[in-house]
Amino acid sequence: MAIDSRNLVIVGGGFAGVYTAHYLLRRLPPDWRLILFSQENHFIFTPLLGDVVGSAINPMHVVCPVRQMAPGAICRTAALTGLDLPGRAVLYKSPDGRMARQPYDHLVLACGAAVNSDILPGMAAHGWPFKTMGDALLLRNHLIGMLEKAEVEPDPAIRKRLLSVVVVGAGFSGVEVAGEVYDLLAESCKFYPSLGQGDIRVTLLQGGNRILPELPESLSRFAQRKMTRRGIDIRLNARGHSVTESGIYLDDGSFLDAGTVICTIGFTAGPLLVASRLPLVKHRLKTDPDMRVAGQEHVWAVGDCAAVPNTYDNSVSGPTAQVAIRQARHLANNILATIRGQPVRPFAYKPLGMLASIGNHNAVGMVFGLKISGFLAWFVWRGIYLSKMPTFARKLQIAFDWAWQLFFPRDIVQLNLGPTERLGRAHFEPGQFVFHKGDPGDKFYIIERGRADVYLDDAAPPIAQLGAGDHFGEGALLSGTPRSASVRAVDPLDLVVVGPNSFGQLTGHLGVLRAALERSARGSRSASRLLTIARDNPLLNTRTVASVMSRPVDTLPVHLTFGEALRISQEKHKGAYPIVDDAGKLVGLCTRSDYYNAMQDLRSHETPLREVMRQPVITIRESDTLTAALLLFLREPIKRLVVVASDDPERPVGMLTPFDVIKVLSGQVMDLAM
């Protein structure tokens, strides 16, 4: 390798990146190196991912090693961490975790588009993206898993939900995957005696007034009629609002039960492009007609990540494989012309046609300006894609798969491709129950965003409200008993979900965590018993906190130092002080535990008290009942509460401990597990 060799770096292993490398490799001057970065070591023929989901072809037959498609290129399977545009280098992480740099003389960005999993609330938690081979394989396995679950499900309503699929987006990808999914489920029913085609429901949601808006209206209507007649429910002018574990809410307020929600919309610029601060147009890099990134001399963009002007019709090139291959050839010529000091040409391309499979050996499309549909279009569609497969071996394998499918049933083997278990996520809309009292305890939940109410009786008022950072569900997992309460979302609720195996491993190996969760579970059980006692004991619900609290309350000013506050506490033999500002408003709380923590941290005595005190402060109003006070003590790991005025929640008026309440009750609740 020559020391003074020059580098052409391509980022991306999809159609645009691999074909650009393919067209450049044999024509680059001998003193140039081509370095191709890709997150995967294989190229995916993405137009056939729908066939993978429908189990119509072998998944390995639609991938090809990048190194075989671009022989002679230096291929690096690594994700870039950044671009140093002034220094003409790309940044990536080496296998040992160190940051590395790869200088370039010319850079081609062909990194495609990223999935915007937040396009709908809950889509990241419960939706199925449709972009990569991993997405297609996991979705195929999931659908076959739904058939297996439905076969053993005795409840017809639940069985129907398991076999209900909603596809969001009716462009080419949405239509093709909806057709393949319906064919897979419908053709596989004969192997499941308990299931019939009436149990299957595939719904296609389209925000516009017709599917396949890229095609002429007559072909769109033909495709809609064919798919509807087949049994696919097509909803036009229908937009999703949010996705939950049991289905999808629409903007009009309606709800579709579904065990599977597939998202084929919502693509955005990847983190690399966003961080680069290069100009974007609708989440795609803005380029000049010659495919240079706007404002850059040595940076080019191609494929789905680039908004390349098509001077043929003065439009922006579409994000399709057909266009990406033509752009790759044109870009290769422009880069070679630049290296030789020759003029470059603007990109101009007249599309040859568009085809979409709609299932059941039918397709629609336009080829050389001619509209075709039905079986002929499906045959042409397969023939064109077969001709575009990158190697003869893959062409032969795909042709065999398609021929096999004409005479034999689809493969319904379910492979477990996921990890044993990992942290999951869930989303619930307001009013939805996370679980009901009496349900089996199979998950532990941590609230990321939103609020949830806790009910001992679904028909009665809630006994508590939980917010971000709170957790629930540990009691049933620790004890192996059914749920002792119901939990319902108040706001849109996002949760981290820990399954039983992960929960057991965490609590089994981390004693501090287990002890804390057991204490929390005891508090919840005691709260339940307390409410039962309160129904038979009027004293708990009629006596107020004001009648038992300690008063007056001693406070400390917030401007003190840690040392001054500690001295006062020692002199007066008091364990806790509310901290107030100059107006007497509550701003914090200092207890013996806070002093001990400060000393453990080797805090100086000159440390401001504000840095040592506890915030926020858990308070209770003087007008609240003793039941409310005991519930707080049971739920929270605290020994005393600051009592605030009923008309001013920031003015402390007293202190309350559990013993203050118990003394008044004369032992009536002494059997509670405090």
Is the predicted pLDDT of residue 667 greater than 70, yes or no?
no
Domain 538-665 fold is CBS-domain (3.10.580)
The answer to whether residues 623 and 646 touch, using CB atoms and an 8 Å cutoff, is yes
Q: What is the CATH number of domain 424-534?
A: 2.60.120.10
CA atoms within a 13 Å half-sphere pointing along the CA-CB vector of 80: 29
Q: Where are the domains of the chain?
A: 6-39+78-113+269-351, 123-266+355-407, 424-534, 538-665
Q: Give the tokens for residue 114.
A: 């990223």
The answer to whether residues 562 and 599 touch, using CB atoms and an 8 Å cutoff, is no
Edge to edge, the sheet with strand 648-656 lists 619-621, 641-645, 648-656
User: Can you give the length of the chain in residues?
Assistant: 674
Question: Range with the lowest mean pLDDT among 197-206, 384-393, 480-489?
Answer: 384-393
Tens-digit pLDDT profile for residues 90-133: 999 877 667 899 999 999 999 998 888 788 999 988 999 988 88
Q: Three-state SS for 110?
A: coil
pLDDT category at 74 given cuts 50, 70, 90 is very high
Q: Which CATH number fits domain 6-39+78-113+269-351: 3.30.1490.20, 3.50.50.60, 3.30.365.10, 3.30.750.200?
A: 3.50.50.60
Q: Give the tokens for residue 643.
A: 């009592």
Ranges of beta strands (E only) in 331-451 are 353-359, 362-367, 370-374, 424-428, 433-435, 444-449
Q: Give the tokens for residue 211.
A: 């599917």
Identify the pLDDT of residue 626.
Answer: 84
The answer to whether residues 276 and 183 touch, using CB atoms and an 8 Å cutoff, is no
Identify the pLDDT of residue 3.
Answer: 47
Helix (H) or strand (E) holding 187: helix 172-188
Tens-digit pLDDT profile for residues 446-465: 999 999 999 988 888 888 88
∠ CA 25-60-96 to the nearest 5 degrees?
Answer: 65
pTM comes to 0.75
Tens-digit pLDDT profile for residues 333-371: 999 999 999 999 999 998 888 888 998 888 998 888 888
| Cβ-based neighbour number of residue 400 at 10 Å | 13
| Cβ-based neighbour number of residue 543 at 10 Å | 17
Q: Three-state SS for 604?
A: coil
Residues 6+ apart with CB under 8 A from 628: 545, 620
Nearest C-alpha neighbor of 188 from the set 369, 367, 409: 409
Quote the CA–CA distance of 47 and 40 in Å, as a whole number: 18
Query: 123-266+355-407: same fold as 6-39+78-113+269-351?
Result: yes
Nearest C-alpha neighbor of 485 from the set 459, 517, 463, 454: 454
Tens-digit pLDDT profile for residues 126-178: 999 988 888 999 999 999 999 999 999 999 999 999 999 999 999 999 999 99
Tens-digit pLDDT profile for residues 468-517: 988 999 988 988 888 988 999 999 999 999 988 888 888 888 888 888 88
Is the predicted pLDDT of residue 531 greater than 70, yes or no?
no
Is the predicted pLDDT of residue 661 greater than 70, yes or no?
yes
Identify the pLDDT of residue 669.
Answer: 43
∠ CA 582-585-586 to the nearest 5 degrees?
Answer: 120
Domain 123-266+355-407 fold is FAD/NAD(P)-binding domain (3.50.50)
- Separation of CA 5 from chain center: 43
Mean pLDDT of 285-297: 96
Quote the CA–CA distance of 4 and 537 in Å, as a whole number: 90
Helix (H) or strand (E) holding 160: helix 156-162
Quote the CA–CA distance of 432 and 458 in Å, as a whole number: 12
Identify the pLDDT of residue 422.
Answer: 59
Quote the CA–CA distance of 497 and 319 in Å, as a whole number: 36
